[in-house]
Amino acid sequence: MNPVMSETPSVMLAKVIGLAETDDNVAAIGVEGSLNNPTAVKDAWQDLDVTLFVHQVRPALAQPYLALFGTPTIVQHLHEPGLFGGGDEYWETFLTRYPGTQRMDLKLAPASVVQAYLDDDQLNAIVWRRGSGRITPRPTSAASHWLAIPRQAEFAAHVNEFYWIAGYVVKGLARGQFNLCGRAFWPEFATGIAMVAGLPRNAGPAWPI
């Protein structure tokens, strides 16, 4: 069965911009992630990572944007400071899934942190500003999201650590301390997989973007 996406991220972005044009609270719109990465695979799993830079940051103000694409199947709401170098300013993040594979990661951020947002990640770009409309985004790069090939000594050290931790996993299982097993094992396992996956292409993504 092929995954189904009813609307592509580009179409979704156009709808978000259309609504923002009628919403005086929005000063600018930024896009981050795979939509700005020219080398990213365009498939049904690609989502829209979008930030509304607003004058008032209130969770309720996100609801009209979340409703643009129908009824979400699940929403995870995060209230946290300092995303993308935003200092102590709080952001409201809504990780939203819709039927099929359609997904939007919508963020509300203070309009004052636009420059910090751009400085923090080479994949971030402003695509709309009030008074200017849609603008040509700056050139972007995914380089900061890639894991360089490890030196032989570094790779060997990770392999050694992995097998060392395996002993603690056995101990944890024997004692029924399952939370200890996960905390110790998975971070090192994930690092090793990323290193191995990146070797054939000279570098590997540190996480999906």
pTM of the model: 0.74
Quote the mean pLDDT of the chain: 84
Neighbour order of strands in the sheet with 90-97:
74-81, 90-97, 103-110, 48-54, 26-32, 125-129, 133-134
**Across-strand partners of 125?**
31
Q: What is the mean pLDDT of residues 114-135?
A: 93
Task: Return the domain boundaries, the chain.
Answer: 9-141, 146-205
Counting Cα atoms < 13 Å in the Cβ hemisphere of 7 gives: 17
What's the pLDDT band for 1 if we cut at 50, 70, 90? Answer: very low
Residue 32 gets the label, from left (phi > 0), alpha (psi -120 to 50) or beta, of beta
**pLDDT tens-digit readout, 5-57:** 578 889 999 999 999 999 999 999 999 987 777 667 777 788 899 999 999 99
H or E element, residue 147: strand 146-148
**pLDDT tens-digit readout, 171-206:** 878 888 777 666 667 777 777 777 776 665 555 454
As its CATH architecture, domain 9-141 has 2-Layer Sandwich (3.30)
CA–CA dist 19, 14 (Å, integer): 9
| Length of the chain measured in residues | 209
- Can you read off the two tokens belonging to residue 162? 């992995």
Residue 207 has pLDDT above 60, yes or no: no
Residue 72 has pLDDT above 60, yes or no: yes
